[in-house]
A and B are shown apart, each in its own frame.
Chain A
Amino acid sequence: MDHRTQNNRAWFLVLPVLVLVAFSAVIPLMTVVNYAFNDTFGNNQFFWAGLSWFEEMVTSERLHSALFRQIAFSLVILAIEVPLGILVALCMPRNGFWVSVCLVLMALPLLIPFNVVGTIWQIFGRVDIGLLGYVLAGLGIDYNYVSDPVDAWITLIVMDVWHWTSLVALLCYAGLQSIPQAYYQAAKIDQAGRWSVFRHIELPKMRGVLLIAVLLRFMDSFMIYTELFVVTGGGPGNSTTVLSIDLVKMAIGQFDLGPAAAFSLMYFLVILLVSWVFYTVMTNLDKEEGR
């Protein structure tokens, strides 16, 4: 016999959260949706525009090149930060006094506010007063991130690597620390070389945290705005204008609210889609692990 009584009043308990989420996320998102399907000339007068803004954005050359730069940026920093993070994690001490020193030093870049990171590198790279720029100029290297697109890209990538590699390294380090000592001893007994130990013991045990690291780094780099805005502001020209920079230029610089709203909805959906793919892959791997 079931003595529990059905009571729909329990829904009232989630009401505060629903209200909060509505004000913080749902309503702002809906205004964006509203802008994306209407045209406005101010005075709160809206004219139905249908899918035209979306069509304009999907076919826009400008958006294509921003998207291309965005993807290139994410791929390059992933290709550098993931292997480098693994390498750093492998080189970190496993126990003793230096563990805490390493952990604190590596956590430092992660604790600095994004715009401060941007400012640090903006000044660091300046040819007139920045340490890096000045030294490079002194060595006779023609470096100027303000005028040379390649230099601007290199500066941004080095900055991101400096800022975020320790996140990947710390995650990998946690994965490495969870490997029981017996695995290394067994590998010694089986006469496995260093590469075999990495390939067959360390890498499989790190796979879970590596996926999380890749997901986090992909998401963050795909949405990068603050540091990049402070250092180059998307320049020189449009050479470092990635999606978020372009979006802000369009929405706030040119006040093209309709196209910008359509743009941001698509941007949002792309990130949602990628996250979902990652999530599915990860949970499937977990299931396989538990088998």
Chain B
Amino acid sequence: MAELTLENLAHSYHANPRGEQDFALKELNHVWRDGGAYALLGASGCGKTTLLNIISGLLRPSQGRVLFDGRDVTNAPTAERNIAQVFQFPVVYDTMTVRDNLAFPLKNRGMDAPYIAQRVAQIAAMIGMEAVLDRKARGLTADAKQKISLGRGMVREDVNAILFDEPLTVIDPQMKWELRTQLKALHREFGHTMIYVTHDQTEALTFADKVVVMHEGRVVQLGTPEELFEAPQHTFVGYFIGSPGMNLLDARIEGRIAHTAAGPVPLGQEYPALSGRVEIGIRPEYVALTTGEGLPVTVRRVEDVGHFRILRGQMGDVPVNAVLPDGAMVPGQDVRLSFRPDKINVYADSWRVSGRSLGEAA
């Protein structure tokens, strides 16, 4: 296990990148702590897989360095990095038995037979596949095959990190949940550094201690699931995470008041004068139905999703969503919404601006 450091890392698939737009992965500095469970979250094509392939050595970065425990491995081939990777589509060696599949990486490194047998037995117990060890891997289900590829990664005791590239894409929904839980348990027990790439926020938030959100080749935020929820650093994090995502309204800020097209909104903090496009963001969970005060909204529909309801509305031409407690009644006309002032985030040109709290201002 190791600490992975990325230093000024960037990658372009063009031979001679001319500007920032040519980079699939924009310059970033990041440290993956030893034994951490990380998720790399972002929409398809945001550079997640590029970053993963650079870490595993399948791709050489155009600039910057990759360090494992301080050792520069930027130019080291995959085999030397001692990384495990689980791919989107299960990769097993069809003609081999499950046992031979698990033993394969050790055999390739010339380990002796008793050691291999002992490790394979351990790993089979870990992933719960002792019963099928002597079966051909070809006939197994997709989730069993994914377990084998995970096991093939963990069979090396000194593996530096385990990378997952959207590993649950082809797995049935109920098996997804089970595999995720199992993975989490394995991480707690054995403490491998794990990096999990996904575009599914539920997977990312339930698996990881720290989530790295990527957008258009850039890391826009690194934080705990709670931080991503309460204080998204970028409007993309706001609307990508959460269901429904954060409401964003164009506004003009004057001290502690945000003037939106629908009316003024009080803020929890005081802000300096901001330039560029200024928006306020509020999670639907912190939007409440009010009477008299608040901003008027046109209700488009109300969705019942079990233990709560989602109001889908519109202020001018901007969609606004609110999460209502179960049983809340939506009046037929003159519907107004209020935002919790301390939960409002302010963005200038999509990036979060922190304000001064009232205490500091005084």
A-B contact count (CB 8 A): 55
Task: Please tell me if the beta carbons of B104 and A182 are within 8 angstroms of each other in the complex.
Answer: no
Interface of A (DSSP majority class): helix
Asked if A61 lies at the interface with its beta carbon under 8 angstroms from chain B, I say no
Q: Mark B107-136, 1 if CB is under 8 A from A, else 0.
A: 011000000000000000000000000000
Beta-carbon nearest neighbor of A203 in chain B:
B95
Task: Please tell me if the beta carbons of A190 and B104 are within 8 angstroms of each other in the complex.
Answer: yes
Residues of A within 8 Å of B108, CB to CB, are 190-193, 196
Q: How far is the CA of A185 from the CA of B86 in the complex (A)?
A: 10
Asked if A14 lies at the interface with its beta carbon under 8 angstroms from chain B, I say no
Q: How far is the CA of A13 from the CA of B93 in the complex (A)?
A: 49
Asked if A186 lies at the interface with its beta carbon under 8 angstroms from chain B, I say yes
Instruction: Name which of B56, B87, B152 has the most chain A CB atoms within 10 A of its CB.
Output: B87
Cβ distance B193 to chain A, nearest Cβ, rounded Å: 15
Cβ distance B166 to chain A, nearest Cβ, rounded Å: 11
Chain B residues numbered 140-170 whose CB sits less than 8 Å from any CB in chain A: 149, 152-153
Task: Please tell me if the beta carbons of B94 and A204 are within 8 angstroms of each other in the complex.
Answer: yes
Asked if B247 lies at the interface with its beta carbon under 8 angstroms from chain A, I say no
Beta-carbon nearest neighbor of B110 in chain A:
A191
Residues of B within 8 Å of A192, CB to CB, are 104, 108
Beta-carbon nearest neighbor of A183 in chain B:
B91
Task: Please tell me if the beta carbons of B152 and A190 are within 8 angstroms of each other in the complex.
Answer: yes
Instruction: Classify chain B: how many residues form its interface, as a range.
Output: 20 to 34
Task: Please tell me if the beta carbons of A189 and B89 are within 8 angstroms of each other in the complex.
Answer: no
Chain A residues numbered 184-207 whose CB sits less than 8 Å from any CB in chain B: 185-186, 188-193, 196, 200-201, 204-205
Q: How far is the CA of A159 from the CA of B89 in the complex (A)?
A: 44
Q: How far is the CA of A262 from the CA of B312 in the complex (A)?
A: 85
Task: Please tell me if the beta carbons of B87 and A200 are within 8 angstroms of each other in the complex.
Answer: no
Task: Please tell me if the beta carbons of B96 and A189 are within 8 angstroms of each other in the complex.
Answer: no
Residues of B within 8 Å of A204, CB to CB, are 93-95
Residues of A within 8 Å of B78, CB to CB, are 185, 188-189
Q: Mark A231-257, 1 if CB is under 8 A from B, else 0.
A: 000000000000000000000000000
Asked if B105 lies at the interface with its beta carbon under 8 angstroms from chain A, I say yes
Residues of A within 8 Å of B57, CB to CB, are 188
Asked if A291 lies at the interface with its beta carbon under 8 angstroms from chain B, I say yes
Q: If the complex has contacts A192-B108, A196-B108, A204-B95, are A186 and B87 also in contact, measured as CB distance less than 8 A?
A: yes
Q: Mark A58-76, 1 if CB is under 8 A from B, else 0.
A: 0000000000000000000
Beta-carbon nearest neighbor of A182 in chain B:
B87
Q: If the complex has contacts A191-B108, A204-B94, are A182 and B89 also in contact, measured as CB distance less than 8 A?
A: yes
Q: If the complex has contacts A196-B108, A291-B138, are A189 and B84 also in contact, measured as CB distance less than 8 A?
A: yes
Chain B residues numbered 75-104 whose CB sits less than 8 Å from any CB in chain A: 77-79, 83-85, 87-89, 91, 93-96, 104
Cβ distance B88 to chain A, nearest Cβ, rounded Å: 7
Q: Mark A259-291, 1 if CB is under 8 A from B, else 0.
A: 000000000000000000000000000001101
Q: How far is the CA of A192 from the CA of B85 in the complex (A)?
A: 14
Residues of B within 8 Å of A188, CB to CB, are 57-58, 77-79
Q: How far is the CA of A182 from the CA of B88 in the complex (A)?
A: 9
Asked if B173 lies at the interface with its beta carbon under 8 angstroms from chain A, I say no
Residues of A within 8 Å of B94, CB to CB, are 204-205
Task: Please tell me if the beta carbons of B87 and A185 are within 8 angstroms of each other in the complex.
Answer: yes
Chain A residues numbered 54-112 whose CB sits less than 8 Å from any CB in chain B: none
Q: If the complex has contacts A189-B56, A189-B83, A191-B79, are A200 and B93 also in contact, measured as CB distance less than 8 A?
A: yes
Asked if B139 lies at the interface with its beta carbon under 8 angstroms from chain A, I say yes
List 5 tightest A-B contacts by C-beta distance, closest first: A186-B91, A182-B87, A190-B105, A188-B78, A191-B108
* B residues apposed to A, CB below 8 Å: 56-58, 77-79, 83-85, 87-89, 91, 93-96, 104-105, 108-109, 138-139, 149, 152-153
25 A-B residue pairs with CB within 8 Å = A182-B87, A183-B91, A185-B56, A185-B58, A185-B78, A188-B57, A188-B58, A188-B78, A189-B56, A189-B78, A189-B83, A189-B84, A189-B153, A190-B105, A190-B152, A191-B108, A191-B109, A196-B108, A200-B96, A200-B104, A204-B93, A204-B94, A288-B138, A291-B138, A291-B139
